């Protein structure tokens, strides 16, 4: 008597053809399991192989949660995942739970003769045999159970079939072990990542931005207000006033803080490279584009992109940027697919963008797009009262970097407060670092500050009094006819910490021109 569902032409009605079919099935099971680490998916495919190749019907795999007693059904052949989602077994409970507890296989001739059987699934055929094997990793307690019913009408050979099921259980055990290992690894990495993130968030909190003057308090207020929203922010201020620091604070105090914060200095790259940095490129888009590459906008998806020195981009590039800011859409270079991203834009500039707009150097529409929420950082000479706190903070920071104790005398602070700091906080930091390096006992006093050279440039110490209208910029007069070209370029580079794009601005040159001068004047570029 053959019921209709088993007469599928597989034709193993004796021991030999059964073993042959099982071998083929084992081969396929191995292949299926190595395909992916998604157990839900692979186990389902394994059970399908058992059913189709060897007539082991209604296959079921249940696995213990790692470290727990409870077992969840992962897959049942012929049942939709929704129907099994809720079914669980406790160790020691019914046939399946008993196998989990004592690790012994179960061979039952007819299911309805087994009083222990719970049939939680309500799915098994009570007139058929039932085979179940523990899934065991090494010498540990079983991690799960695999069970199935041999189809009616075939050769039963229950012990042979149980042996086969055991081999399948072994293969599954290897996959489970691997998948748990990968899960653990992932968990460790995620924990590490979260800890690093917290550390980063900590170092970009407001605690690390020093300032109690009214001008700075206003900045803090604006940052904490604007952080909550997705508004585009334009950070304005002279070089070294802390624009990047504020950009970090905005991101790490925003709801996007768990997502990427991607920075790009727009002054550092020519148009074509800038475009491929920001938008990415497809393989073969241009010579050297060997692989497809994601741009910074894609990397920043869900998070924030910081476009530093936004005032430096060419009109051609301004048009390209405008589209992303307006639509959130772009294509990779050489690509046809339009990509859409959710990115919050924070930009910074030390340029007078209004004037640039007037002179036709900066697109007006882009200016309005960016200037939604401007934050102005005061220059240091506008907040002299912050110098004592800032100096103390920076000296601490330098002491940590140098791994020694440093102190700053009151007389030193008084000298620092008399200087006008054209390079703002960055210049103050550099000056203190130089002073620290030069004083072997670690006590930075007025004399140590003097050795850094700033004393020559103190207010009142130079011939023209500067206190009424503090200089906007240089401590060095770049139009000084006494200076030769080489000295001028070096002085500009020194003042800008050897950032060529900035030095070029001081000298009213393009980045390309200064690069050319550096080369022809044989200036050795310092790495800082």
Instruction: Point out which residues bind Mg ion (CB under 5 A).
Output: 243-244
Q: In a 10 Å sphere around its CB, with 0-12 CB exposed, 13-18 middle and 19+ buried, how is residue 337 labelled?
A: exposed
3-state DSSP percent of the chain in helix, strand and coil, to 5 = 50, 15, 40
Q: Give which of Mg ion, ligand ATP, none residue 156 binds (C-beta under 5 to 8 Å, depending on kind).
A: none
CB of 208 to ligand ATP, least distance (A): 6
Asked if 380 touches ligand ATP (CB under 6 A), the answer is no
Q: What's the sign of the alpha-carbon dihedral 226, 231, 236, 241?
A: positive
- The CB-of-217 to ligand ATP minimum distance in angstroms stands at 12
Whole-angstrom Cα distance, residue 406 to residue 415? 18
Note whether 391 binds ligand ATP by CB under 6 A.
Answer: no
User: Looking at 150, 242, 422, 511, which residue binds ligand ATP (CB under 6 A)?
Assistant: 242
Q: Does 209 bind ligand ATP (CB under 6 A)?
A: yes
Q: How far is the CB of 380 from ligand ATP (least distance, A)?
A: 9
Asked if 350 is part of the footprint of ligand ATP (rule: CB under 6 A), the reply reads yes
Residue 239 is a binding residue for ligand ATP (CB under 6 A): yes
Residue 236 or 243 having the CB closest to Mg ion: 243
Cβ closest to ligand ATP, residue 60 vs residue 209: 209
CA 519 to each of CA 177, 380, 489, 499, 524: distance values in angstroms, whole numbers, following the listed order: 60, 34, 11, 15, 9
Q: What is the 3-state secondary structure (H, E, C) of 235-282?
A: EECCCCCCHHHHHHHHHHCCCCCCCCEEEEEHHHCCHHHHHHHHHEEC
Establish if 222 lies at the interface with ligand ATP (CB under 6 A).
no
Q: Does 241 bind ligand ATP (CB under 6 A)?
A: yes
Q: Residue-wise over 208-218: b if at least 16 C-beta within 10 A, else e? A: ebbbeeeebee
Residue 237 engages ligand ATP in binding (rule: CB under 6 A): yes
Residue of the chain from 151, 425, 493, 507 that contacts ligand ATP (CB under 6 A): 425
State which of positions 41-60 bind ligand ATP (CB under 6 A). Answer: none
Q: Which two tokens stand for residue 452?
A: 């850094």
Residue 244 beta carbon to Mg ion: minimum distance, rounded to whole angstroms = 4
Residue number of the CB atom closest to Mg ion: 244
Q: Which is nearer to ligand ATP, 161 or 236 (CB)?
A: 236
Decide if 42 contacts 67 (C-beta within 8 A): no
User: Do 128 and 156 contact (CB within 8 A), yes or no?
Assistant: no
Minimum distance between the CB of residue 243 and Mg ion, rounded to whole angstroms? 5
Q: How far apart are CA 323 and CA 346, in angstroms?
A: 16
Helices (H), 60-157: 81-84, 94-102
Q: Which of 133, 277, 298, 429 binds ligand ATP (CB under 6 A)?
A: 429
Task: With H, G, I as helix, E, B as strand and everything else as coil, classify residue 461.
Answer: coil
Binding of ligand ATP by 422 (CB under 6 A) = no
Number of Cβ within 10 Å of residue 117's Cβ equals 17
Q: Least distance to ligand ATP from the beta carbon of 72, Å?
A: 51
Q: Work out what residue 241 binds among ligand ATP, Mg ion, none; the CB cut-off runs from 5 to 8 Å by kind.
A: ligand ATP
Minimum distance from residue 137 beta carbon to ligand ATP (Å): 51
Place of tokens 């800082």: 528
Taking CB within 5 to 8 Å according to partner kind, which of ligand ATP, Mg ion, none is near residue 46?
none
Smallest gap from residue 308 Cβ to Mg ion (A): 5
Q: Which is nearer to ligand ATP, 6 or 245 (CB)?
A: 245
- Using CB under 6 A as the binding rule, whether residue 427 contacts ligand ATP is answered as no
Nearer to ligand ATP, 237 or 422 (CB): 237
DSSP 476: S
CB of 382 to ligand ATP, least distance (A): 13
Binding flag, residue 495, ligand ATP (CB under 6 A): no
DSSP assigned state of 286: S
The smaller minimum CB distance to ligand ATP, of residues 54 and 349, is found at 349
What are the distances in angstroms from CA 333 to CA 271, 328, 342? 13, 16, 19
- 3-state secondary structure at position 330: strand
Is there a contact between 144 and 176 (Cβ–Cβ < 8 Å)? yes
Q: List phi, psi (to 5°) of 124.
A: -80, 160
Residues near ligand ATP, by CB under 6 A = 209-211, 237, 239-245, 350, 390, 393, 425-426, 429
């Amino acid at each position: 008597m053959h019921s209709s569902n088993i007469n599928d032409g597989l034709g193993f009605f004796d021991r030999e053809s059964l073993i042959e079919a099982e071998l083929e099935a084992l081969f396929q099971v191995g292949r299926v399991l190595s395909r992916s680490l998604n157990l839900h998916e692979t186990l389902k495919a394994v059970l399908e192989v058992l059913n189709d190749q060897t007539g082991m019907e209604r296959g079921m795999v249940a696995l213990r949660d790692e470290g727990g007693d409870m077992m969840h059904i992962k897959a049942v052949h012929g049942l939709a995942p929704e129907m099994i989602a809720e079914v669980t077994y406790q160790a020691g409970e019914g046939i399946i739970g008993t196998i989990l507890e004592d690790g012994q296989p179960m061979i039952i001739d007819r299911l309805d003769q087994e009083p222990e059987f719970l049939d939680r699934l309500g799915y098994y055929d009570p007139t058929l045999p039932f085979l179940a094997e523990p899934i065991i990793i090494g010498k540990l307690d079983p991690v799960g159970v695999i069970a199935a019913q041999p189809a009616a009408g075939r050769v039963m050979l229950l012990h042979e079939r149980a042996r086969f099921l055991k081999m399948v259980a072994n293969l599954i055990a290897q996959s489970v072990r691997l998948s748990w290992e990968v899960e653990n690894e992932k968990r460790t990495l995620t924990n590490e990542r979260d800890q690093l993130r917290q550390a980063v968030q900590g170092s970009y909190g407001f605690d690390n931005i020093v300032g109690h003057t009214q001008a700075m308090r206003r900045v803090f207020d604006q940052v904490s207000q604007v952080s909550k929203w997705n508004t585009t922010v334009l950070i304005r201020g002279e070089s070294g006033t802390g624009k990047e620091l504020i950009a970090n604070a905005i991101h790490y105090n925003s709801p996007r803080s768990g997502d990427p914060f991607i920075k790009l200095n727009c002054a550092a790259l020519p148009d074509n490279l800038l475009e491929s940095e920001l938008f990415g490129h497809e393989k073969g888009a241009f010579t050297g584009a060997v692989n497809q590459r994601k741009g910074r906008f894609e990397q920043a998806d869900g998070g924030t992109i910081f476009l530093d020195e936004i005032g430096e981009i060419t009109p051609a590039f301004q048009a390209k940027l405008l589209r992303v800011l307006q639509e959130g859409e772009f294509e990779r270079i050489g690509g046809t697919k339009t990509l859409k991203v959710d990115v919050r834009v924070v930009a910074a500039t030390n340029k007078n963008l209004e004037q640039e707009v007037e002179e036709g150097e900066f697109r007006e529409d882009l200016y309005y797009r960016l200037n939604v929420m401007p934050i102005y950082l005061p220059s240091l000479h506008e907040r002299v009262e912050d110098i004592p706190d800032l100096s103390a903070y920076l000296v601490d920071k330098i002491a940590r970097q140098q791994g020694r104790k440093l102190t700053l005398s009151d007389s030193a602070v008084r000298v620092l407060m008399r200087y006008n700091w054209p390079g703002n906080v960055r210049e103050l930091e550099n000056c203190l670092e130089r002073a620290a390096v030069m004083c072997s006992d670690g006590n930075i006093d007025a004399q140590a500050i003097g050795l850094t050279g700033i004393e020559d440039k103190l207010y009142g110490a130079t011939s023209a009094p500067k206190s009424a209208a503090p200089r906007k910029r240089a401590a060095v007069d770049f139009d000084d006819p006494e200076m030769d070209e080489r000295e001028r370029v070096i002085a500009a580079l020194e003042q800008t910490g050897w950032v060529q794009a900035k030095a070029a601005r001081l000298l009213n040159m393009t980045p390309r021109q200064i690069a050319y001068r550096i080369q022809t004047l044989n200036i050795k570029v310092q790495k800082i």
